[in-house]
Structure 1
């Protein structure tokens, strides 16, 4: 049995999750003001550019920090990162924890900033 590559793991994970375009994410946010948009990149990446309205919780500490922001399993949670890989893995982890309305914003950070604006 050969090992899976990160790209294979991410693709497999994304196929079982809800993915949104940046436009669909903006529409969901306009209709649902209490939705969380989590940026799972590292703090140094976020310091360079940050989409408006996002909360930074690095992927490595997500499971430990998410309950500081919500314990509602039905709250809409949208995840993004630089390219989608960490967001997919983060979405799978939150789903495994019991959150039901988890989506990935499937785009790069620059594209998301184009649709949401900048947080700086």
Structure 2
């Protein structure tokens, strides 16, 4: 199922995610709140995978926007991006790397205070 989702949505390397972040792509962190407590990429929208279908409209209704999903290891991100594609968000794509790998690229990280 995850392999099929990756094929449908496509994936990006950590470096490609960092580049798109700098270019203004919308990052969607699909991890659970207990996971995002350790930090998230600055500007990312926290939308847990289980609420994505209900909450994405609060993030954007632009179905052509470049949306990059990420999680802790890549599987939920792929499933989320595939779901977004099926919902008509043509620019959705998944990070192949999880949060810790993305952090290593130097992406700015923010924490809840």
In structure 2, distance between residues paired with 1:103 and 1:118 = 21
In the alignment, which residue of structure 1 is the partner of 2:108? 117
Larger radius of gyration: 1
Q: Secondary structure at the match of 1:78?
A: strand
Q: In the alignment, is the contact (CA less than 8 A) between 2:30 and 2:80 conserved in 1?
A: yes
In structure 2, distance between residues paired with 1:43 and 1:86 = 14
In structure 2, distance between residues paired with 1:108 and 1:89 = 13
Single out whichever of 106-115 and 35-44 deviates more from structure 2. Answer: 106-115
Counterpart selection for 1:25 from 17, 21, 24: 17
In the alignment, which residue of structure 1 is the partner of 2:70? 80
Single out whichever of 65-74 and 51-60 deviates more from structure 2. Answer: 51-60
In structure 1, runs of 5+ residues without a counterpart are 1-8
Q: TM-score, normalised by structure 1?
A: 0.85
Task: From the two aligned structures, give the one with the greater helix fraction.
Answer: 1
In structure 2, distance between residues paired with 1:16 and 1:55 = 22
Report Cα offsets for 1:3-34 as digits up to 9, x if no partner.
xxxxxx11121122221111111112223x2x
Work out whether 1:66 is the aligned partner of 2:56. Answer: yes
In structure 2, runs of 5+ residues without a counterpart are none
* Aligned length in residues: 110
CA RMSD of aligned residues (A): 1.2
In structure 2, distance between residues paired with 1:20 and 1:50 = 18
Q: TM-score, normalised by structure 2?
A: 0.90
In the alignment, which residue of structure 1 is the partner of 2:86? 96
